[in-house]
Every structure is written in C-alpha cells, then in structure tokens.
Structure 1
Amino acid sequence: MSDHQRDFVGYGAQPPRAAWPGGARVAVSLVLNYEEGGEHNVLDGDMTSEGFLHEVVGAPPVAGGRDLNVESMFAYGARVGFWRIHRTLAAHGAPLTVHAVGQALERNPAAARAMGVAGWEVAGHGWRWIDYRDVPEDIERGDVARTTATIERLVGRRPVGWYTGRTSHATRRIVVEEGGFLYDSDDYSDDLPFYVEAAGRPHLVVPYSLDANDFKFLLVHGFTTADDILAYLIDTFDALHAEGAERPRMMSVGLHCRIIGRPGRIRALDGFLRHVAQRGGAWVATREQIARHWLATHPR
C-alpha cells in the first residue's frame, strides 16, 4: 500500500513554466480509449457480462450469461465509432493518443493498422478492460508485457505510455519495472506533468482527466447532448487559455469509440477542434510528445 504516497501540495502557487513549443498557452491532449472486445464477457471466462459504460445506464450485468444488447453496443464502437472518429481527426490533421486494450486490438487488427498508419501514439491500457485492483501481481505483470508486445506487433511501434484506469496498488511499479515506458497517466491530480518515485527511481506522470471526458454520457446526471460536452470542453480550454498567459497548462480530453463515435455526439469533437484552431495559442500533441518535452525541459 506504500507504492502511492498521497500529495496534497504538488506545485503549489508557483507551478513551473511549461515552455510549450511555439509559446503555446495550452497543451491539448486528445485521448481515445480503445476497449471494445476487452470488456467482461462469459465467453472470455468472466462470471458476468459487462455492466459499465454502456447505453443502458444502470442496468446490472448478467450473472453467468451473455447480454447480447450490451455486446452489440461495444461492437458498434469498433465497427463504426472508431472509423467516424478516425475521419474526424483526419479532417483536422489532429494528433491523438490511443489508450489501447491489448485484447481489443487483437480482435480488430484493421483498426490497429489504421492507428499506426495515421501516426497516432498507442499507449497500453491493460490486456483486458477490467478492474485490476484484485488481480494477482504476477498476472498483471504478464498482462503489461503481453499488451506491450501486442501493440508493437499490430501497430508497428512499442508503446512508451501506459494507462490502466482501474489500477492495483502495484500497477505503477510494474510499469516502471517493465522498462521502456516514458510515462504513465494513472493520475488525475494536476494540470501539468510531474515526477514521482516508483521502483526506486524518478518516473514521469502525465495526468489524465475524467471531467473533460465523454464517459459522462453514460453516467446518471452526466452529459446528455453534444452541446453539453462541447460547452464543457470549450469552457475548460478557455479557462486554461486565460491562465496560460502567465502559467501554461495542459488539457486532457477523454474519448471512447462507442460514445463520442455515435452520430449524435461526433460534432462535439469537430466543434471543439474548430474552437481550438480559431482561438489559437494551443499545442495539440500526443502524450508522448508532451512527455518528451517535459523530460527535456524539466529534467528530474
């Protein structure tokens, strides 16, 4: 339980000057979570169907059986939503980081190839889209290695970033000990990257966000329409842009194939990218680019 020390101080009143390229006020990180095919399913040996982040909000998982409706909602993300997001980002020439579940990539190698061809950064997101809290450490360690190898084989490049999402107390240490990772994003506590000690060495954290995130469409009292999330993303960007005149910041935007990839929601992504371009002062970058910049500009 000592792998993560709680820190309520952080950078305090004087955060470092990020010195983003081009004098940008805000580094914008777009993240697509690719999970479809890695969720709970009795066909994969699970005890229940998936009960989290699908369109029937609050419906309990099926114990010992399949939920064909939920399965098809996840399949939509891989079959249709992914490609709609792909077209939208291509139209804007926007870089992207993918949090990729290894088993999900295995089940749609065409999507994996498209990520590589597009030049997107693909980071690890676990072998399965599950809660790793109670997974034995040796199994989690094996999953990190297996996911890393799968991404390298299918995408064409080894991942240098990691985000489990639902971590165990050992996740960060396992990632650092695995080697080859520049950063992880299993943290939500800052608007700038920062260093922690893990496995006896300095390790960079590029924090993520669950507020500027489309998963709130699938929560009670969350986003309902594209206008809801678009307004929130614009408000977040504009606030960070104003602060960035003195202290540049970072903004993470969380996306999911089966959520923002729906036709009634995709215009929020298009509208946000248009706003960022028109406002100016942004560096839209992958998390790898942000990590490499931070490691070079603010070495530990």
Structure 2
Amino acid sequence: MTLVGPKRDLIGYEGNPPKVSWPNGARIAISLVVNYEEGSELAIGDGDATREPSGPADWPLSKRDLAGEGHFEYGSRCGYWRLMDIFDEQEVKCTFYACAVALERNRDAAREMRPRGHDVISHGWRWEDVSLLTREEERDHIRRAVDSIAETTGERPLGWYCRYGPSVHTRELVVEEGGFLYDCDAYNDDLPYWTVVGAKKHLVIPYSLATNDGKFNWGAFGSPADFEKYLKANFGRLYKEGATHPKMMSIGLHMRLVGHPGRAQALANFIAYAKSHPDVWFARRIDIARHWMAHHA
C-alpha cells in the first residue's frame, strides 16, 4: 500500500535529544502562542450552512447560535486587548496563530501585532478542517491566507499551523508554497526537529494540546488555579531537564478562553513565576526557528 502523507515517526530523538544551545545559555524556551480565530469560524450569521458546534446538544447546527457567536466575539473584543496588555506589562512577546479572515474582520487588532513586537504565522484562511478540502482547495486556501495576512499585518507569514491537525497533503503544500520556514503541525516532541518533504529539508516546531487553555473547554481545567498549577508543573520538569538538555515549552492560548479576567490573571501569574527563574527565554516561534536553523542544522 502506498502511504499518502508523512510517515509516522515513533522513534524521534530516542531519549537522547540534542544539547540545545538556546541564547544566553537558557535552560528552557517558552513559546506563548495566541490562536486568533474569532470571526473565521463557521457561523450561520456569516452565511455558512452550518455553525460551530456549541450550546445545547439538541440545538441544530443549521440554526443560528447567538450565544456561541458572542462567545467568539468576546475573544476579539476583550480577550485580545487584555492579553496584549499582559504581554506589555510582563515584557514578553508571543506568536499569533492567525486565521486570515479573522484578521480581515478586525484590522485594528491586526495592525497592533507586529508593531508591538509579536510574531504572526498563518492559522489558515479560515478556522477550518483542512482534511475536508481537496488538495487543490487546500492549496488555494494556503495562498489566500498568505496574501491576506501579508496585507493586514504588513508582512507575509513565515510559519504555518492548521486547525487541530493537517491533512495528508498539508506539509507538502506548505513546502511547495515556498515561503514558509517551518510548520507547527505536530504534537510529538519537546523540541524542534528536521524532516524531509520530497527532496527538501523542512523544519517542524511542535505545538502542544497539553499546556493549552483549550482544556477549559474540554473540562480538564476547572478553575484558573488548575491552569496555573499545570503550567508551573510542566515548567518545573522541563526546567530541571534543561540543566543538561535545554527544552522548549509551548503554551497554547485562545482569546475567548484565557482572555477572561480570572484566567488571564492565572496566565500573568505563570509568566511572572517563570521570569523569576534564571536562564529562561521567552521566544517567538520565528526566533526559535531562526535559532534552530543557525545552530542545529
């Protein structure tokens, strides 16, 4: 049987990861990732045939869900600006996983990202399941996303990340597009790694669904204290390992989830806690990518 898409790799670094040389001898690189999706999700009010699943289980997907729409709107109206203030207060930078259509619908927010020092990568044209697209449709949506984000933020995105998971064609199409330095469509390691797509060497910077505020939606985090405690526990283990083999910690954030006041304060508490330790590098995805390319090629 001919395998379509990337081969599975169950081996990785085999328990012997490279001794990473993060800047200034950092033991851990912390990557804050904000998923900017609000306004690009399925919504009857935007002319889609169905909506994002939300609300009561018996609420038809073909029926407009104003409460669900408001939940998303909170993220771009309030959560975004609260997170931006926290990052300014804590003097850290993040990477936005941005859906192109979402930025088109809030251009003032889009214009704030790069001037404040944040990184913007493509999270797709819309917040969509790309596995439902044909190869040609997916190629077209990648191109649309690149052009749109370049227009709304002033620069083309250099990284890529799908909604949850890629299709079997995504990585090939990302490499084929030619302008991306890396993708984040993986959850399989604590460090970046190189792979080969066709004849081209390609960088993967894995993401995480564990250190991710999405777990508020899934019921794994009941309170902001749970979120903060888990982040600190994860940091503690990686920081210990980083004494000999520096690691990377990705923190997934959503403006409509962690952007609420109590949860945002838990994030701020964690950032302050991590910054109280020596040899910690808060890094944007593009910084990690460029460093890996320069020192771990």
TM-score range, shorter chain: over 0.9
Q: Deviations over 1:130-162 (max 9, x none)?
A: 111121111111111111111111111111100
Q: Which residue of structure 1 aligns with residue 130 of structure 2?
A: 132
Contact persistence 1:95–1:285 (CA under 8 A): yes
In 1, the alpha carbon distance for the partners of 2:35 and 2:145 equals 14
Q: Deviations over 1:162-198 (max 9, x none)?
A: 0013321111111110111110000000001001111
In 2, the alpha carbon distance for the partners of 1:111 and 1:292 equals 26
In 1, the alpha carbon distance for the partners of 2:46 and 2:238 equals 43
In 2, the alpha carbon distance for the partners of 1:239 and 1:273 equals 16
Alignment of 1:1-300 (within 5 A): 1-51=3-53, 56=55, 59=57, 62-164=60-162, 165-220=164-219, 222-299=220-297
Shift of 1:33: 0.1
Shift of 1:47: 2.7
In 1, the alpha carbon distance for the partners of 2:294 and 2:4 equals 29
CA change 1:260–1:60 in 2 (3 A) is farther
- Letter aligned with residue 42 of structure 2: H
In 2, the alpha carbon distance for the partners of 1:59 and 1:158 equals 39
Instruction: Note the residue ranges of structure 1 that are not aligned, 5 or more in a row.
Output: none
Structure 1 residue matching 2:195: 3-state secondary structure: strand
Instruction: Note the residue ranges of structure 2 that are not aligned, 5 or more in a row.
Output: none
Contact persistence 1:27–1:250 (CA under 8 A): yes
Shift of 1:42: 2.4
- Letter aligned with residue 31 of structure 1: V
How many residue pairs end up in the alignment? Answer: 294
Contact persistence 2:53–2:61 (CA under 8 A): no
Q: Sequence identity, in percent?
A: 45
CA change 1:225–1:203 in 2 (3 A) is same
Structure 1 residue matching 2:11: 3-state secondary structure: coil
- Letter aligned with residue 227 of structure 2: I
Contact persistence 1:177–1:199 (CA under 8 A): no
Contact persistence 1:3–1:198 (CA under 8 A): no
- Letter aligned with residue 66 of structure 1: R
In 1, the alpha carbon distance for the partners of 2:187 and 2:61 equals 32
Normalized against structure 1, the TM-score is what?
Answer: 0.95
In 1, the alpha carbon distance for the partners of 2:224 and 2:49 equals 35
User: What is the RMSD computed on CA atoms of the aligned residues?
Assistant: 1.3
Q: Deviations over 1:40-78 (max 9, x none)?
A: 1124443321116xxx5x746633221011001100101
Normalized against structure 2, the TM-score is what?
Answer: 0.96
In 2, the alpha carbon distance for the partners of 1:45 and 1:108 equals 18
